[in-house]
Amino acid sequence: MAIILGIESSCDETSASICIDGEIKSNIIAGQAIHSKYGGVVPELASRAHQQNIIPTVDQAIQQAKITKKDVDAVAFTRGPGLLGSLLVGTSFAKSFALARQIPLIEVNHMQAHILAHFIDDPKPNFPFLCLTVSGGHTQIVLIKDYFDMELLGQTLDDAAGEAFDKTAKILTLPYPGGPLIDKYAQLGDPNAFSLPEPQISGLNFSFSGLKTAILYLVQAKMKENPQFLTQHLNDVCASVQSRIVSVLLNKLKKAAKQTCVKDIAIAGGVSANSGLRSALIEMGEQYKWRVFIPKFEYCTDNAAMIAIAGYQKYLKQDFVGQDITPLARMHV
């Protein structure tokens, strides 16, 4: 039997999870409301909140899994990419726990873990599969050949998809993180109300900065004509923005599927919680005869279950690291 404790602290969520023989028994997530009034994550405040949250979060994960600290066989933690101060809290905790209990330590790449979240529940994708990983910091199309053998096929050249949602929300005077709010208002609006440009980027790369500027200019022009524009047309603006972001993402995914002839297609990361993206992907999957994999909501945004499941796969391979390991703000898949 293998009991893995997973720790995630790369951004503004402190999370701990217990995985027993590949099955997730708990996944506790402590969010940080403090950032919403600043319009984005404040790194110094994030690391301080991680310090406060980490011990109670781990205790709760262990309790909910009905085990004790002594039962844990290995500790897996997010090494990167992420905010260095935040990563340091999870890394230091994991190292101390492993040292105190004399158990192995496992490093996990956060972006790989978002993808490996698809191995938590059935049905699971077959190798090779494609994954569109869309989060607050990344937008990538990845070809997954094996658990830890991944090839980056395309990525954003500027803003990430989550950033495009969050920056648009800021223009619309919505609080951070704006992605879920845009999703909510978009469901009540007309996606064809305002036309927004589709960025012309070759290959499988993305660009979202032009879209953000187009939205800013649109809102500024409309507000000049009618100061009540945002209150009167918020749902339509949100629906139009969301529909454009989703079409940009899915057009590239379609291109990647065609190029690689892969039919198992997954999405991952915080933006994969988006209802417009989820339904459009299901529709596209039916059209192109793909097997589509969409994570449960709790495994889309940052969580430690994905770290624990990735850690479990490394545990099976005895892929451990020493106490000299340090976190990395930048890491590739």
Which residues in this chain contact Zn ion in the complex, by CB under 5 A? 135, 302
The residue whose Cβ lies closest to ligand KG4 is 270
Nearer to ligand KG4, 54 or 249 (CB): 249
- Residue 206 carries which DSSP code? B
State in angstroms the smallest separation of the CB of 145 from Zn ion.
22
For residue 118, say whether it is annotated as part of any ligand binding site: no
The residue whose Cβ lies closest to Zn ion is 135
Going through 65-215 in order, the beta strands assigned E by DSSP cover 74-80, 105-109, 129-134, 139-146, 149-155
Residue 271, binding choice from Zn ion, ligand KG4, none, Cβ under 5 to 8 Å by partner class: ligand KG4
Q: Which residues contact ligand KG4 by CB under 6 A?
A: 11, 135-137, 162, 165-166, 177-180, 183, 269-271, 273-274, 301-302
> Cα–Cα distances in Å, from 11 out to 30, 106, 262, 270?
12, 19, 32, 12
Nearer to ligand KG4, 20 or 131 (CB): 131
Q: Which of 304, 279, 263 is nearest to 29 (CA)?
A: 304
For residue 276, say whether it is annotated as part of any ligand binding site: no
For the chain, the C-alpha Rg in angstroms (whole number) is: 20
Q: Rounded distance, CA 22 to CA 246, Å?
A: 32
Beta-sheet pairing, 23-30 with 74-80: unpaired
State in angstroms the smallest separation of the CB of 303 from Zn ion.
9
State in angstroms the smallest separation of the CB of 41 from Zn ion.
12
For residue 179, say whether it is annotated as part of any ligand binding site: yes
Q: Rounded distance, CA 299 to CA 118, Å?
A: 9
End-to-end Cα, the chain, rounded Å: 29
Token pair, residue 208, equals 């979202």
Nearer to Zn ion, 159 or 302 (CB): 302
Residue 179, binding choice from Zn ion, ligand KG4, none, Cβ under 5 to 8 Å by partner class: ligand KG4
For residue 134, say whether it is annotated as part of any ligand binding site: yes
Annotated binding-site members: 110, 114, 133-137, 166, 179, 183, 274, 302
Annotated binding-site members for substrate: 133-137, 166, 179, 183, 274
